[in-house]
């Protein structure tokens, strides 16, 4: 049996909620690794131990843990008896096939009853390594750091820390609904909230069959990538083409983009409330495109009483692109596609829409009926990781 020791950071600070946060992380790790021969995942004195059967799946296991929100770092570790001789022997066994110039030992006692202090353990184990291997001790810039963690009736030794993705475990912060366009920004916005422990529902507006279903395919692929991080995702696909036709008949060209956005936000609010979301999320950034002025944002925002979170609001496009590349969504986002908001859209949208003028233009539309119809006929898909189970064509609208 092999062990992996998982460290969390931020969740260690959460006071009375702590055990609940840790349990959530434990169950997320269990779910994310369910098909990889993992025998046991348990919380253990401020860290989590994962026991698995073979080393074969390590690269896959490592990739999955690295994606999971709430993990600061993790390491493959070997267990040792609660005894300094056993610990030193275990460490020397682990080092057998290694050759380095310099090293240091870092010890940590979660259980202070251990008869030696951490510096004493470091000196003792370090001395034996030096004697056995002749390596130089370097406390500042060692080639290798040997870590020893003393728990209450066992110890763990490990040699390499893998970085986790940080943040909070998925599911501890409640639900939000993200307006997902399939462009570069909204997947990054959704991930920002996933990383803060939110379960993020995705809502996509498409103009199929007036336009191709490329945008839906892209969003489905992005949803899969995000599901590898939050483990389950609900995606709503809302038919928006007919709504746009109605807008075209009723609304002067310069105001159309703002009206589309207001309708999207109202429909998203309606779906979001029905699925328990406490806020909406968009990928907007101030001034990124002509329609994303503060004036327009205010006029768009005013149709909903739900908080609208814009995690990218102050970011440059290059910064967002870099994040999308790290996240792995960039390649999907740049696949050419006809955005539904360019449909029936004039070359020069209003950059400073005024609320009163937009309200008057919308008076010609049956807004409530449009919102109700769009929300209740939305197609819902549920995705899960590891086994991604899509349930297309489930016309259950907004329930759950
Ligand atoms: P993105 O890269 O996310 O498409 P963008 O820079 O293209 O963003 P806009 O097209 O102006 O920006 O859209 C701003 C935000 O409005 C998006 O980030 C997204 O949250 C929402 N949005 C736009 N179009 C759609 C759509 N078809 N379906 C769902 N949400 C959308
Ligand atoms: Mg877009």
Following DSSP, what letter does each residue of 353-367 receive, concatenated?
--HHHHHHHHTTS-H
Where residue 387 falls among pLDDT bands split at 50, 70, 90?
confident
- pLDDT surpasses 80 at 15: no
Q: Ligand 1: distance of its center to the CA of 249 in Å?
A: 23
Please tell me whether residue 392 adopts helix, strand or coil conformation.
coil
Structural contact between residues 132 and 152, judged by C-beta atoms closer than 8 angstroms: no
Alpha helices in 134-213 (DSSP H): 185-195
pLDDT score at 57: 84
Sketch the domain layout of the chain as residue ranges: 2-163, 175-396
- Ligand 1 atom closest to the Cα of residue 184 is 2
How remote is the C-alpha of 387 from its chain's centroid?
18
pLDDT confidence of residue 16 = 74
Residue 162 contacts residue 63 (beta carbons within 8 Å): no
pLDDT digits (tens, 9 = 90+) for 136-187: 999 999 999 999 999 999 999 999 999 999 999 999 999 999 999 999 999 9
- The burial class, CB within 10 Å (0-12 / 13-18 / 19+), for 61 is buried
**Top mutation candidate among 283, 287, 289, 353 for ligand 1, by most atoms within 8 Å of CB:** 283
Residues 41-72 have pLDDT tens digits of: 999 999 999 999 877 789 999 999 999 999 99
Number of other residues whose CB lies within 10 A of the CB of residue 340: 26
Mutate to test the pocket of ligand 1, among 183, 262, 334, 341 (most ligand atoms within 8 A of CB): 183
Give just the sign of the alpha carbon dihedral 261, 267, 270, 272. negative
Please report which confidence band the pLDDT of residue 340 belongs to, taking 50, 70 and 90 as the band edges.
low
The Å distance, Cα 301 to ligand 1 centre, comes to: 14
Of 50-59, 169-178, 292-301, 364-373, the range with the lowest mean pLDDT is: 50-59
Mean residue pLDDT across the chain: 92
Least confident of 94-98, 142-146, 297-301, 385-389: 385-389
**Residues 101 and 136: beta-carbon distance below 8 Å:** yes
Alpha carbon distances (Å) from 379 to 30, 193, 215:
30, 23, 14
- What number of H helices and E strands is found in the chain? 13, 15
Identify the architecture of domain 2-163 in CATH. Answer: 2-Layer Sandwich (3.30)
Percent of the chain with pLDDT over 70: 94
Dihedral sign for Cα atoms in the order 268, 269, 275, 278: positive
> Ligand 1 centre from 176 Cα, in Å?
16
CA dihedral 70, 75, 81, 86 (to 10 degrees): -150
Reported pTM: 0.92
**Dihedral of alpha carbons 120, 122, 125, 126, sign:** negative
* Separation of alpha carbons 324 and 308, rounded Å: 21
CB 192 within 8 A of CB 311: yes
pLDDT computed for residue 68 by the predictor? 97
Q: What is the pLDDT of residue 389?
A: 43
What span, in angstroms and rounded, lies between the C-alpha atoms of 397 and 161?
A: 45
> Between β-strands 232-239 and 199-206, what pairing exists: parallel, antiparallel or unpaired?
parallel
Which protein residue has the closest C-alpha to ligand 1 atom 14? Answer: 284
Rounded to the nearest angstrom, the distance between the alpha carbon of 181 and the centre of ligand 2 is 5
Class of domain 175-396: alpha beta
> CA 93, CA 90: separation in Å to the nearest integer?
5
The residue to mutate among 177, 184, 186, 277, having the most atoms of ligand 1 within 8 angstroms of its beta carbon, is: 186
| Residue minimizing CA distance to atom 21 of ligand 1 | 179
What residue ranges in the chain does DSSP mark as E strands? 2-7, 38-44, 47-52, 71-80, 102-109, 136-137, 144-150, 155-158, 162-166, 175-179, 199-206, 232-239, 280-281, 308-309, 379-384
Average pLDDT over residues 273-287: 95
Altogether, the residues listed in the chain come to a count of 400
């Amino acid at each position: 049996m092999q062990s992996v020791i998982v460290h969390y950071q931020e969740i260690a600070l959460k006071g009375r909620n702590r055990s609940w946060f840790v349990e959530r992380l434990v169950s997320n790790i269990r779910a994310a690794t369910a098909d990889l021969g993992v025998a046991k995942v348990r919380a253990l004195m401020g860290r989590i131990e994962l026991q698995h059967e073979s080393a074969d799946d390590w690269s896959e296991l490592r990739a999955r843990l690295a994606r999971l929100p709430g993990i600061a770092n993790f390491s493959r570790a070997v267990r040792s008896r609660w005894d300094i001789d056993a610990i030193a022997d275990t460490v020397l066994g682990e080092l057998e096939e290694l050759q380095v110039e310099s090293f240091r030992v870092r010890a940590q006692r979660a259980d202070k009853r251990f008869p030696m202090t951490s510096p004493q353990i470091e000196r003792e184990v370090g001395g034996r390594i030096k004697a056995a291997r002749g390596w130089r001790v370097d406390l500042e810039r060692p080639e290798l750091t040997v870590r020893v963690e003393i728990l209450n009736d066992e110890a763990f030794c490990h040699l390499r820390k893998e970085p986790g993705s940080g943040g909070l475990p998925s599911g501890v912060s409640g639900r939000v609904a993200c307006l997902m366009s399939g462009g570069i920004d909204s997947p990054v916005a959704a991930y920002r909230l996933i990383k803060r422990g939110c379960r993020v529902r995705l809502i996509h507006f498409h103009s199929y069959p007036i336009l191709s279903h490329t945008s839906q395919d892209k969003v489905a692929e992005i949803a899969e990538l995000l599901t590898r991080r939050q483990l389950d995702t609900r995606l709503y696909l809302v038919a928006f083409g007919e709504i746009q036709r109605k807008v075209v008949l009723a609304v002067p060209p310069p105001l159309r983009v703002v009206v589309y956005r207001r309708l999207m936000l109202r429909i998203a609010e309606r779906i979001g409330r029905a699925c328990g979301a406490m806020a909406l999320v968009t990928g907007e950034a101030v001034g990124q495109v002509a329609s994303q002025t503060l004036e327009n944002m205010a006029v768009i925002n005013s149709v909903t009483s739900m908080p609208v979170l814009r995690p990218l609001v102050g970011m440059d496009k290059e910064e967002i692109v870099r994040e999308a590349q790290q996240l792995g969504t960039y390649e999907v986002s740049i696949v050419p596609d006809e955005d539904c908001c360019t449909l029936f859209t004039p070359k020069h949208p209003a950059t400073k829409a005024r609320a009163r003028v937009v309200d008057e233009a919308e008076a010609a539309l049956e807004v409530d009926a449009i919102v109700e119809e769009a929300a209740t006929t939305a197609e819902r898909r549920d995705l899960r990781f590891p086994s991604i189970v899509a349930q297309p064509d489930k016309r259950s609208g907004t329930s759950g």
